[in-house]
């Protein structure tokens, strides 16, 4: 442990599996105390157990990020437990592969509720705690599909594009309070959410066609940029979008 976020209080949504779990584990290794949330209670509690078993300190909160009242209660619980929140990683999200004409109203609403409202409410309700603490860092997980176009992903792209610009809005509005807000844009990452996209060698090859490093990333390869943005090393970075995509968006 090098203590890059030593003593900081970090709130990670979607921390029960995949990238969210790795974000939480890495920040715990680097000295942060964690609030881990997920609708997957078993996975979230396992992440917390892994942190606590290694001598860290973590709290699990089971709630739906699309609910504003649940967000308010979760932030209140985090502040009551740890006294403040220094870092928020808005990682929770869902994915849908479907042509626009086949996407139902219910599917679009669910996509926007989780991926957009979930991030909006997270920022909205963490900001007062960060203002009181004298500053903080918010990292919103968007996607390369929040920057470029792709087939059969219109609802998902609409949500992740919204996260990209919401991030910049928060950065501008809250810079005066020493609160930084940046977005991470992963490409093909090997997680449970993308398992279906890489279920065969042929599917994996097609998915990676524009990835110049010719491989998917492991979740921790996204967690290191998240850690950087959460730390004081990124003290002059706000409103930025960091591509973690193996070069996908360069071609």
Q: CATH code at 118? A: 3.40.50.720
Dihedral sign of CA atoms 249, 66, 112, 171 in order? negative
Domain membership flag for residue 179: yes
Domain membership flag for residue 154: yes
Q: What pLDDT is stored for residue 197 in this prediction?
A: 67
**Which is the catalytic residue, given 121, 145, 156, 174?**
156
Q: What is the pLDDT of residues 144-161, one digit of tens each?
A: 999 999 899 999 999 999
Overall number of domains in the chain: 1
* CA angle at 118 for the pair 15 and 33, rounded to the nearest 5°: 35
Distance CA 88, CA 5 (A): 13
Domain membership flag for residue 208: no
Which whole number is the average pLDDT over 200-222?
85
Q: What is the pLDDT of residues 112-148, one digit of tens each?
A: 999 999 999 999 999 999 999 999 999 999 999 999 9
Distance CA 119, CA 109 (A): 15
Residue 49's pLDDT band, with cuts at 50, 70 and 90, is: very high
Strand pairing partners for 9?
33
Domain membership flag for residue 1: no
Residue 201's pLDDT band, with cuts at 50, 70 and 90, is: confident
Residue 29 sits in which domain range?
9-188+220-243
pTM of the model: 0.95
Domain membership flag for residue 21: yes
Start-end of H helices in the chain: 18-29, 41-53, 68-82, 105-112, 118-133, 154-174, 201-207, 220-230
- Active site annotation includes 156: yes
CB distance 91 to 141 below 8 Å: yes
Which whole number is the average pLDDT over 44-61?
98
């Amino acid at each position: 442990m090098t203590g890059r976020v030593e003593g900081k209080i970090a709130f990670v949504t979607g921390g029960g599996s995949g990238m969210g779990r790795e974000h939480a584990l890495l920040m715990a290794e680097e000295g942060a105390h964690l609030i881990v949330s997920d609708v997957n209670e078993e996975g979230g509690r396992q992440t917390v157990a892994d942190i606590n078993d290694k001598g860290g300190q973590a709290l699990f909160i089971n709630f739906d990020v699309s609910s504003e009242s649940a967000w308010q209660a979760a932030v209140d619980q985090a502040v009551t437990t740890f006294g403040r929140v220094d870092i928020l990683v808005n990682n929770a999200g869902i994915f849908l592969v479907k042509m626009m004409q086949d996407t139902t109203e219910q599917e679009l609403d669910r996509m926007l509720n989780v991926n957009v409202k979930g991030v909006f409410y997270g920022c909205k309700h963490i900001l007062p705690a960060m203002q009181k603490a004298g500053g903080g860092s918010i990292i919103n997980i968007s996607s390369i599909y929040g920057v470029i176009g792709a087939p059969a992903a219109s609802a998902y792209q609409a949500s992740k594009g919204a996260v990209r610009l919401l991030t910049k809005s928060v950065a501008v509005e809250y810079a005066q309070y020493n609160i930084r807000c940046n977005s991470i844009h992963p490409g093909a990452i090997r997680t449970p959410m993308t398992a279906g996209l890489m279920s065969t060698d042929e599917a994996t090859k097609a998915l990676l066609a524009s990835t110049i490093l010719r491989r998917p990333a492991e979740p921790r390869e996204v967690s290191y940029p998240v850690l950087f943005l959460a730390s004081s090393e990124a003290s002059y970075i706000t409103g930025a979008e960091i591509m973690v995509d193996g070069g996908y968006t360069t071609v």
